[in-house]
Amino acid sequence: MSEKRLDLLYTEVEQELRASVRSLLEDKSPPSAVLARVEGDQVTDTALWKELAGIGVAGLPVPEELGGAGASLRESAVVAEELGRSVAPVPFLGSAVLATAALLEAGAGDDVAALASGEAVGALAVPLATPPGAAFPEAVRAEDGALSGTVTGVVDAVAADVLVVPAAGPEGPGLYVVEAAAARVTPVVTLDLTRPLAEVAFDGSAARRVASGAAAQEALRRALVTGAALLSAEQLGVAEWALDTTVAYAKTRHQFGRPIGSFQAVKHRLADLWVAISQARAVVRSAASAAATARQDPGDAEAAREAEVNAALAQAFVSGVAVKAAEEAVQLHGGIGFTWEHPAHLFLKRAKSDSIALGTADRHRLALGRLVDLPAAGSD
């Protein structure tokens, strides 16, 4: 593979996309609207998702011939950042990232087209905590074109029309497509109120196989790597919201006749956070670029390895930054930051839940060590 210069800067197109998405989210999903929605029975904002799909968000990395925008995962990462900044309750991670990536890798073009247009919502039927390096799941069994078994903690399954299901059968691993109506989807209680999870049960559900054997295993692994890379972009967005909101509050909140932002201790905490977020942004951009390169040339093994390395690095570092930023936002807002009426708790819960989604930071550090042949601690 020829050496390529890594550009971490945002392009003009990416900045324009950011402005469009941010404007729509500020108009349709401000913090007050999100707070009101999590109090209701229907958390997922399907109307907002259709509007986002209308500007191409659902199918950014999907080729134009399949109904997508023909962009790359760099653009998808920009959208993930903005969705992190708003904790908008839309099925971007489950449908536009995980399910779409799995289907693209499996070569299931017809199924991808429905998700890319926003006509259907998809979900990848694996527990959200599944890291990229996990063994192929065997909770669901396939036999004679039907699936049986139960998967817990599936993201965006509540809103899904289509389920992409890894299953094991007499012929080995397989990746299947199932209509959500053919499964039993039961919402579960979650820490993150803005991201519904569900238990998905199959009982002889009719299924269509789209990949088998090593191809199914590779499609799932690459989908999870893509998910980890873009999840780090979402975590960056959470951290950026926390810093920006806290800085603005520190300028207006007065104590002892002075803005609290003028106190040296507060300045130091915010400065440290700014440095960490700046570092996180570089790591996220590297992960998005590596994922985009791997998607452009699926047969390039070195590009696939670089994508996995960068995704593991991003998750190992950025998840901690997001949690720290959200914790600082709650604490530096004082009493108001601990109230249900202030949105800070939504961002803290998203940061906390993201820190275990698709693998914990420790799991990613272990994976990173193996990927770069780093000796384990204490080894000779």
Which of 163, 179, 213 is where one domain is finished? 213
CB 294 within 8 A of CB 313: no
Domains contained in the chain, number: 3
Whether 237 maps to a domain, the answer reads: yes
Residue with tokens 């998405």, as numbered in its chain: 21
76 and 176 share a domain?
no
**pTM for the whole structure:** 0.94
229 and 247 share a domain?
yes
Whether 127 maps to a domain, the answer reads: no
301 and 155 share a domain?
no
CB 123 within 8 A of CB 163: yes
DSSP β-bridge partners for residue 151: 200
154 and 240 share a domain?
no
What is the C-alpha separation between 118 and 74, in angstroms, rounded? 20
333 and 283 share a domain?
yes
CB 322 within 8 A of CB 235: yes
Q: Which domain holds residue 32?
A: 12-120
Find the helix packing angle between 264-296 and 73-86, rounded to 10°: 150
**Contacts for 55 with CB less than 8 Å, ≥ 6 apart:** 20, 21, 24
Which of 213, 231, 249 is where one domain is finished? 213
Cα dist from 372 to 29, 308, 378, whole Å = 41, 10, 17
195 and 319 share a domain?
no
| Predicted pLDDT of residue 5 | 59
| Predicted pLDDT of residue 380 | 54
Which of 213, 236, 263 is where one domain is finished? 213
208 and 356 share a domain?
no
Whether 2 maps to a domain, the answer reads: no
Q: Is the dihedral of CA 109, 114, 118, 120 positive or negative?
A: negative
Q: Extract the residue ranges of the chain whose pLDDT is less than 70.
A: 1-5, 376-380
151 and 86 share a domain?
no
Q: What is the CATH number of the domain that holds 186?
A: 2.40.110.10
* Cα angle 21, 27, 32; round to 5: 115
189 and 74 share a domain?
no
Whether 3 maps to a domain, the answer reads: no
**Contacts for 28 with CB less than 8 Å, ≥ 6 apart:** 45, 47, 48, 51
51 and 166 share a domain?
no
State the DSSP string of 83-140.
Answer: HHHHT---SIIIIIIIIHHHHHHHT-HHHHHHHHHTSS-EEE-S-TT--TTSPPP-SE
308 and 359 share a domain?
yes
| Predicted pLDDT of residue 1 | 39
What is the C-alpha separation between 102 and 144, in angstroms, rounded? 22
Element holding 220 (H helix, E strand): helix 213-252
Whether 4 maps to a domain, the answer reads: no
Whether 244 maps to a domain, the answer reads: yes
Q: What is the CATH number of the domain that holds 269?
A: 1.20.140.10
Whether 6 maps to a domain, the answer reads: no
Q: What is the CATH number of the domain that holds 28?
A: 1.10.540.10
269 and 160 share a domain?
no
Whether 227 maps to a domain, the answer reads: yes
Q: What's the pLDDT tens digit per position in 29-59?
A: 999 999 999 988 899 999 999 999 999 999 9
